[in-house]
Chain A
Amino acid sequence: MGVIDDSSRATLASRARGWLPVIIAAGVLAIAGVVAIPLGGWDRVWLESAAVPIHPVGEPFTAARLTTSIDDAYLTDVSPDGYSEAEPGDTFLVVVATMEATGSEPQDPFGYGSFFTFVIFGIQELGDDVPNDLNILLERDGTFGPYLSPGVPDTMLFIYPVGADEFTGGNVLRVGLTDGTPEKADIYEGIRWVNQHIAVLVDVPIRDVR
């Protein structure tokens, strides 16, 4: 009595081995639970590296193609181009941005293909088709669709026709400035952009000047 023979010990060990995955899983969950408690539980734990930082209005953000500062956003019924009229029930959302090409080539301030310089959630997002009713003007003389020479900053007006009630003065327009990594293209002359992503967010108060 009280003596465990070799065969009983072997049976216990083999039983414990059978439960080993469950024991390990329970241990990991217990440790994770202990770690999560001071952080407020799993539903409140965020991967900090996945959070897109907020960038101030009017401050330049330097990406691989352009340095861009989102300066202003306003609603107007009179397009800055001086001749476009809003359709009935529409108005114009104007985003004012100061931009400078940073590389060795001139840049389209809008971007290339669907790799836009910035996105406006709900209007123009990465991977979308180019908005065909968007107008881009050089603020200083109204040139339509200008290119930016490297090292020569200028202010651009991005004019989007939007529904008259789609945006409200005093609210915030969230703009995402993008970035990417240039690589030498394989099937055409030039570069392609990989790792396209929204690098920072700018919350611009919308002014209503209608």
Chain B
Amino acid sequence: MKRRAMSRGARYAGGAALLVLAYLVAFTTPGTALVEGSIVTTGHIGEQAITRSIAATVHDAQLAEQVDFDFWIGTTSGIWFVADATIVATTSRRGVEADVFIDGVRYPSTERVDTDTVDGSVIDAGFPVTGPILVELPADVLTFPGARSAVLRISPSGDSRLDGVIEVTIDLTTLEVESRLELEPRRDGLR
């Protein structure tokens, strides 16, 4: 049987199609950030969200110009984001950290009061602890476009790639801004 040779035009078109296909494959291949990214569990205020290693309930959130514990007065040039949360490790004791993300910017929970915040130390499996999460935000944060969809992320401390994290979306513009907020330090048990 005689084979028909491809025309020159068909060969060029085939080559170009293969190049386009190669580009599409390269363009759609997930990057490292996606392949190794955290596995997000979406939570809601008042509801428990569970990941592989931690479970957390964010009870409420507020903004404050100053926060007070028994022996510490927390002033800031910005504004405090304060969330009350209950966190428990699910399988083994874990350190926990919290961040707020607004418009792609990461605001970490404060380390100025390590022992009084719920995310400040290691949490044992099966032993929930309740307390505040404190994050310093810019003073004019309520004017930011992303203030209506700020994300509070609670995650195992250290490298959380390929690990479960909990994200709760909060509209900061709906929160009351207190001039001074007295806080109850971290404590064992549920709220």
Q: What residues make up the interface of A, taking CB atoms closer than 8 Å to B?
A: 104-106, 138, 140-141, 143, 146-147, 149-154, 189
B185 at the interface (CB under 8 A from A): no
B135 to chain A, nearest CB (A): 7
26 A-B residue contacts at CB 8 Å?
A104-B104, A105-B105, A106-B107, A106-B108, A141-B74, A141-B75, A141-B112, A143-B111, A143-B112, A146-B112, A147-B108, A149-B108, A149-B137, A149-B138, A150-B106, A150-B107, A150-B138, A151-B105, A151-B137, A151-B138, A152-B76, A152-B77, A152-B137, A152-B138, A154-B76, A189-B161
Q: What residues make up the interface of B, taking CB atoms closer than 8 Å to A?
A: 72-78, 104-108, 111-112, 135-139, 141, 161
Q: Complex Cα distance A151/B147, Å?
A: 14
- Majority secondary structure, A binding face: loop
A176 to chain B, nearest CB (A): 26
Chain B residues contacting A105 (CB-CB under 8 Å) are: 105-106
Closest 4 CB pairs of A and B: A151-B138, A152-B78, A149-B136, A104-B105
Most chain B CB atoms below 10 A, which of A141, A147, A151: A151
B45 to chain A, nearest CB (A): 23
Residue of B nearest to A142 (CB): B112
Q: Is the CB of A149 within 8 A of B78?
A: yes
The answer to whether A151 and B75 touch (CB under 8 A), given A104-B104, A141-B112, is: no
Q: Is the CB of A141 within 8 A of B72?
A: yes
Task: Given contact pairs A106-B106, A149-B137, A151-B137, enumerate 11 new A-B contacts (beta carbons under 8 Å).
Answer: A105-B106, A141-B72, A141-B74, A146-B111, A149-B136, A150-B138, A151-B105, A151-B138, A152-B76, A152-B78, A154-B76
